[in-house]
Copies of this chain bind each other. A is one copy, B any other.
């Protein structure tokens, strides 16, 4: 996409920065499980910083979570508050970031219905992101209608908040192309620019590998470290972490590439010079897996301890979590109902 903005994480970001009122961010997560270190690296850290720079809305996408869990809805409902607790625990501030619940914002469903008339089935089936997901989930033609059409629902989410910047990975760019196509069609019908096109906010951070170094990180695969992980769970995961299968003795020359421990040290260790030094030693031979795992263990225990403790406090008070989510949702309803009213007017459906 031509207009991609690349996000530079700024370690100095703080609340003294002025908000750029020109840009509006929408981001979110399907509420299919508690969040893990992959989310922390891939999105949560950025969101904490972004909230100081931009108006930011985070959508807990429970309805989208249902698109491939229609017959297993408790997987979604059980995780809504977990996800909100994860957000708060990592430092997302509900006074700066609007946190809202998709299923409690009716305008999102209504916008989806209107936009669905402007997108062909063929167009949806051509979407590379959807294609890949259909393949990876082995759906074939048994794909639920809600799943094939979820790019339309995403367009509803993005446009309902007039988001201009959407943090995504490269693989999600086709979703934003679809959104912008809908925006242009709708504006053409309205004969004025009632919706705004969005730009991707690309992160330079590469995806964190799973603990076993093989598959996609997922809670159910047990190959990740949850933000809620206990000290023991962290240590256990690091012990099981893939390093270099030919690195049998401490004296052997080890490989850094594909070594999950080093990838995690790259991602989380505060002192990257120290990590570079470790890599040299490891490559030359003479540094054991036990040693680098111990270093990573200390690093992750230090990172996750305050997050876990904070999370525990939030989880212990569900009524507070609900109140935060409700307050953000109410604000979101005001915003999205306004956009819906304009879209309905564009279709001439504003009798009352």
Which A residues lie at the B interface, using CB under 8 A? Answer: 62-63, 66-71, 73-74, 76-78, 80-81, 101, 103-104, 106-107, 109-110, 112-114, 116-122, 124-125, 140-149, 152-153, 185, 189, 322, 325-326, 329, 344, 346-349, 351-352
Q: What chain B residues lie within 8 Å of A109 (beta carbons)?
A: 106, 109-110, 112-113
Contact A145 B152 (CB under 8 A): yes
Output the residue of A68, A144, A145, A349 with the most chain B CB within 10 A.
A145
A interface: dominant SS: helix
The answer to whether A326 and B352 have CB atoms under 8 Å apart is yes
With A106-B110, A141-B122 as contacts: A146 and B351 at CB distance below 8 Å: no
Instruction: Find out whether the CB atom of A347 lies under 8 angstroms from the CB atom of B66.
Output: yes
Is B322 a contact partner of A73 (Cβ separation < 8 A)? Answer: no
Q: What's the Cα separation between A297 and B120 when bound, in Å? A: 46
Other-chain residue from B66, B114, B149, B153 in contact with A149 (beta carbon distance below 8 A): B149
Tell me which of B77, B104, B153, B189 contacts A113 (CB under 8 A): B153
Chain B residue nearest to A153 in the complex (CB): B113
A148 to B141 CA separation, bound complex (whole angstroms): 14
A to B CB contacts below 8 Å, 27 in the list: A62-B349, A63-B114, A63-B349, A66-B114, A66-B347, A69-B117, A71-B189, A73-B189, A73-B348, A74-B348, A103-B344, A104-B352, A106-B109, A112-B113, A113-B146, A116-B144, A120-B141, A120-B142, A120-B145, A121-B143, A122-B142, A124-B145, A125-B141, A145-B152, A322-B352, A325-B351, A326-B352
A189–B72 CA distance with the chains assembled, in angstroms? 8
Residues of B within 8 A of A110 (CB): 106, 109-110
Given A109-B109, A122-B143, 8 extra CB contacts under 8 A: A63-B114, A71-B189, A103-B344, A103-B349, A106-B106, A112-B113, A121-B121, A121-B143
A109 to B107 CA separation, bound complex (whole angstroms): 9
Query: Which residue of B71, B124, B351 is within 8 Å of A80 (Cβ)?
Result: B351
Q: Do A77 and B347 touch across chains, with their CB atoms under 8 A apart?
A: yes
CB distance from A12 to the nearest CB of B (A): 37
C-alpha spacing A344/B153, complex, angstroms: 18
A104 — which chain B residues lie within 8 A by C-beta?
351-352
Q: Do B121 and A141 have beta carbons less than 8 Å apart?
A: yes
**Residues on the B chain within 8 Å of A326, using CB:** 351-352
Least distance between A113 CB and chain B CB atoms (Å) = 5
**Nearest residue, chain B, Cβ from A134:** B121
Check A117 against B78 for contact (C-beta < 8 Å).
no
- Shortest CB-to-CB span from A314 to chain B, Å, is 15
A59 to chain B, nearest CB (A): 14
Q: Which of B62, B112, B147, B347 contacts A76 (CB 8 A)?
A: B347
Per the bound structure, the CA–CA distance linking A326 and B352 in Å amounts to 7
Q: Which residues of B contact A68 (CB under 8 A)?
A: 117
Query: Which chain B residues border A185 with CB–CB below 8 Å?
Result: 71
- A-B pairs, top 3 by smallest CB distance, nearest first, are A77-B348, A70-B117, A116-B146
